[in-house]
């Protein structure tokens, strides 16, 4: 009997070996281990149909049983339990069964294998554990830590980075850069044979745990398969690379494009350009997502935070014996129009007071909506309608949503507190910020998923209850501030902007924070005190403010802006940098009007650079999302025109893709534009509009 301790890197099913797990042992070995792991899913419905399903399954390699399990919405149900000895066969059996008997309700059939493993063993993704082996088969596994630890043991990962010299969609790459440990060098793509030989040698000699790429999903790995059909970067040599096709889908009111994906076995591959949040949360954030959600690192990097929060809810359900429906059965309850208007009002938003304001404190409720769900026990099965059905029971145990969110909220608050206590130059700050940002995104989407019609455990009435409570808490906070002599300049969902004569240091606002926390019971924090803050008017009507548009500078010199050009994804780098440069100039003064002339001079200098053709082409590159398929455009937008050029060059273009292009005056090709072809007047106008966003109100005040 062998024993090892180390970190769990990955799990997946295998048709021959059952469950495969990879362990990074304390001795430095990367161990491929197997485990006997039978998996069960359930079917419920008409008794006669279940009998037919039983007869159909008797010829399969499964065991069958009748049992009772709990459905979150309908309570205890008689179900047919279908158990496969090999987890790799569950999907095939389920899809075959559901195709023949679609009228049955199915549960736990599409639950990720990693979540089943975590719920059954107590170990977790990227967690430390102790295992006992009989040969290569795991017989005992013991968790040695928790996903909720603030300072988990650092994973000693070996990382190989690969990136081309240019964006393959815009230009044809000529070189590939390798970076591993302290070695970095570039190789020409022509000829190919030396590059392929060196890459294979690096994989064999360095044996990376993670291949971190730029455009690896959408360009590098597809090209490597095209150049050498025998190329296999997996550590598990018995498996081929898993390739998932690109797709476009509609979510959060917009079309989202997800490029082709290449997943590896035994090691990870993350494409930084195809990972949804990588720019914001970084590698440490991705690892944190995998750690707390239970989904694999490669999945955590590419999927939306909604997939992470859904996985966490599934894990809670598995641990508490609640069935996870494959298809949500519950619809919104009936409401009159009057009740609908009363219930569905959303978050509270006040119109800001237009102008320049000094010594303004921004106060934010910490994870307001998740905190409400936790503190008020908001969950589909604990909503007011449910409580009334429970015949007036006062004590209702924590629902599945609060159980899931409580440790998440507590961990994020603790990480933020630890971050605030560290010196900004501390080497731990970057990792803490990335991990905290990852948890923030999980908490942001959990509220939306509470009301999402297809969420496994969503219910719109619970969603409405949260917003109703939030509106009341914001009014309580406003009244508390005003009772203490503060002027409330603006309120936006979970933030208050307050001001009081004579108060300008962070410590001056501590009594207000304590009073609001005492009144609401929700944690609240001071985002910072602005040296000055500007709420500009609408472009169409100078009498009307815009709730989500402002800019200012904190007392420490940090600039914060919302709703202006530098915050928009379709602003080219040159325009964004110019607007930020103007704000930095104004940030040097206690009143932005004092630096108005200097900011104008800076902007005019940038205009002269642009007209003289002294701006790098890459800084003028614009990125816009295709809102629909190309054939659906009646009048093509600039992005659609650029996409048409790419399509003619053999690039597959889909709705939701971000198209990078230049505004050209003579229809130059998207990948061959020169400075002579650039539409300079159009870029000048974009620059002038960006400058006007922050200068117009200051010019009015100085007039």
CATH classification at residue 480: 3.90.1600.10
- Sign for the CA dihedral angle at 143, 144, 149, 150 comes to negative
* Residue 675: both structure tokens together: 């400075």
The verdict on residue 108 lying in a domain is: yes
269 and 213 Cβ atoms separated by less than 8 Å: yes
Same domain as 681, residue 532? no
Whether the ω angle into residue 191 lies within 30 degrees of 0, i.e. cis, is yes
Last residue within a domain, chosen from 122, 143, 164? 143
* Residue 126: both structure tokens together: 């990227």
Alpha carbon separation from 363 to 1, 282, 470, 528 (Å, rounded): 58, 27, 15, 8
In total, how many domains does the chain have? 3
What pLDDT shows up at residue 391? 42
Q: Say which residues have a Cβ less than 8 Å from residue 344's Cβ, sequence separation at least 6.
A: 464, 467
Last residue within a domain, chosen from 516, 540, 562? 562
Same domain as 568, residue 558? no
Same domain as 612, residue 584? yes
Alpha carbon separation from 230 to 175, 240, 267, 431, 665 (Å, rounded): 22, 10, 18, 38, 46
The verdict on residue 487 lying in a domain is: yes
Same domain as 50, residue 125? yes
The verdict on residue 384 lying in a domain is: yes
The verdict on residue 306 lying in a domain is: no
Burial 616-632 (b: 16+ CB within 10 A, else e): eeeebbbebbbeeebee
The verdict on residue 217 lying in a domain is: no
Total number of residues shown for the chain: 703
Per residue in 271-323, pLDDT (tens digit) is 999 987 898 999 999 999 999 999 999 999 998 898 999 999 999 999 999 99
Same domain as 697, residue 575? yes
Same domain as 588, residue 532? no
Which among 461, 458, 434 is positioned nearest to 448, based on CA atoms? Answer: 458
The pTM score is 0.89
Same domain as 6, residue 46? yes
The verdict on residue 381 lying in a domain is: yes
Give me the domain span that covers residue 515.
355-394+460-562
What pLDDT shows up at residue 542? 86
What pLDDT shows up at residue 669? 47
Last residue within a domain, chosen from 92, 108, 143? 143
Same domain as 57, residue 127? yes
Same domain as 677, residue 550? no
The verdict on residue 362 lying in a domain is: yes
What pLDDT shows up at residue 341? 59
553 and 530 Cβ atoms separated by less than 8 Å: yes
The verdict on residue 254 lying in a domain is: no
**CATH code: domain of residue 118:** 3.30.342
Same domain as 470, residue 602? no
Could you tell me how far CA 117 lies from the centroid of its own chain? 24
Same domain as 575, residue 535? no
What pLDDT shows up at residue 652? 81
Alpha carbon separation from 42 to 12, 37, 101, 490 (Å, rounded): 21, 17, 13, 51
What pLDDT shows up at residue 384? 56
Same domain as 525, residue 382? yes
What are the 10-residue block averages of pLDDT along the chain, 703 residues in total?
91 90 95 94 95 93 94 91 94 94 94 95 95 91 95 93 89 92 88 91 94 94 92 93 84 75 96 89 96 95 91 95 83 64 73 94 92 90 57 67 94 89 87 94 87 78 87 94 96 94 92 94 91 92 90 94 93 96 95 94 96 92 87 86 84 84 68 78 95 91 72
267 and 211 Cβ atoms separated by less than 8 Å: yes
What pLDDT shows up at residue 668? 43
């Amino acid at each position: 009997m062998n024993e090892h301790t180390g970190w769990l890197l990955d799990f997946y099913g295998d048709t021959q070996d059952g469950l495969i797990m990879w362990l990074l042992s304390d001795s430095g070995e990367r161990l491929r281990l197997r485990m006997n792991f039978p998996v069960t899913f359930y079917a419920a419905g008409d008794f006669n149909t279940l009998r037919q399903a039983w007869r159909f399954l008797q010829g399969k390699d499964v065991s069958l049983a009748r049992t009772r399990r709990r459905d979150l919405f309908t309570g205890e149900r008689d179900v047919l339990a279908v158990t496969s000895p090999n987890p790799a066969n569950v999907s095939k059996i389920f899809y075959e069964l559901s195709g023949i008997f679609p009228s049955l309700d199915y549960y736990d059939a599409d639950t990720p294998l990693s979540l089943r493993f975590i719920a059954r063993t107590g170990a977790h993704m990227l967690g430390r554990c102790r295992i006992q082996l009989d040969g290569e088969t795991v017989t005992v596994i013991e968790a040695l830590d928790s996903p909720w630890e603030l300072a988990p043991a650092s994973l000693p990962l070996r990382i190989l980075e690969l990136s081309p010299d240019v964006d393959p969609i815009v230009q044809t790459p000529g070189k590939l850069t390798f970076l591993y440990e302290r070695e970095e060098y570039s190789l020409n793509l022509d000829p190919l044979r030396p590059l392929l030989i060196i890459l294979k040698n690096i994989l064999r000699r360095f044996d990376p745990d993670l291949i971190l790429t730029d455009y690896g999903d959408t360009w590098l790995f597809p090209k490597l398969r095209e150049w050498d059909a025998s190329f296999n970067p997996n550590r598990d040599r018995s498996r081929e690379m898993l390739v998932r096709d690109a797709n476009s889908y509609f979510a959060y009111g917009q079309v989202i494009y997800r490029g082709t994906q290449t997943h590896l076995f035994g090691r990870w591959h993350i494409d930084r350009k195809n990972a949804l949040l990588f720019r914001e949360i970084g590698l440490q954030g991705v690892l944190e997502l995998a750690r707390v959600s239970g989904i694999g690192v490669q999945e955590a990097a590419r999927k939306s935070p909604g997939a992470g929060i859904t996985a966490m809810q599934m894990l809670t359900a598995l641990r508490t014996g609640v069935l996870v429906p494959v298809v949500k059965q519950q619809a919104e309850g009936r409401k009159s129009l009057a009740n609908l208007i009363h219930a569905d009002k959303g978050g509270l938003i006040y119109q800001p007071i237009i102008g320049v304001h000094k010594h303004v404190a921004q106060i934010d409720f910490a994870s307001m909506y998740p905190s409400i769900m936790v503190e008020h026990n908001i969950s589909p099965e604990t909503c007011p309608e449910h409580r009334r059905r429970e015949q007036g029971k006062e004590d209702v145990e924590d629902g599945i949503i609060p159980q899931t969110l409580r440790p998440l909220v507590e961990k994020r608050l603790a990480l933020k507190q630890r971050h605030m206590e560290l010196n900004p130059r501390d080497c731990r700050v970057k990792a803490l910020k990335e991990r905290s940002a990852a948890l923030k995104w999980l908490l942001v989407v959990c509220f939306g998923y509470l009301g999402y019609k297809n969420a496994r455990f969503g219910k719109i009435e619970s969603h409405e209850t949260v917003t109703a409570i939030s509106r009341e808490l914001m009014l309580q906070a406003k009244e508390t501030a005003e009772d203490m002599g503060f002027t409330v300049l603006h309120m936006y969902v979970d933030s208050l902007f307050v001001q009081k004569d004579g108060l300008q240091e962070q410590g001056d606002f501590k009594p207000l924070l304590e009073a609001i926390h005492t009144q609401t019971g929700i944690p609240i924090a001071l985002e910072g005190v602005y040296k000055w803050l500007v709420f500009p008017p609408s472009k169409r009507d100078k009498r009307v403010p815009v709730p989500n548009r402002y800019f200012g500078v904190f007392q420490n010199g940090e600039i914060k802006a919302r709703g202006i050009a530098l915050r928009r994804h379709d602003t080219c780098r040159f325009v964004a940098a110019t607007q930020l440069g103007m704000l930095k100039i104004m940030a040097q003064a206690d009143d932005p009007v004092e630096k108005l002339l200097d900011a104008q001079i800076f902007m005019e200098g940038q205009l002269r650079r642009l007209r003289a053709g002294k701006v790098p082409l890459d800084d003028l590159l614009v990125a816009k999302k295709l809102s629909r398929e190309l054939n659906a455009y009646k009048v093509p937008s600039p992005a659609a025109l650029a996409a048409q050029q790419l399509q003619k060059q053999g690039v597959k273009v889909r709705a939701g893709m971000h198209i990078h292009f230049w505004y050209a005056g003579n229809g130059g090709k998207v990948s061959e534009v020169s400075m002579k072809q650039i539409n300079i007047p159009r870029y000048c106008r974009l620059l002038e509009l960006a400058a006007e966003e922050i200068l117009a109100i200051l010019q009015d005040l100085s007039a």
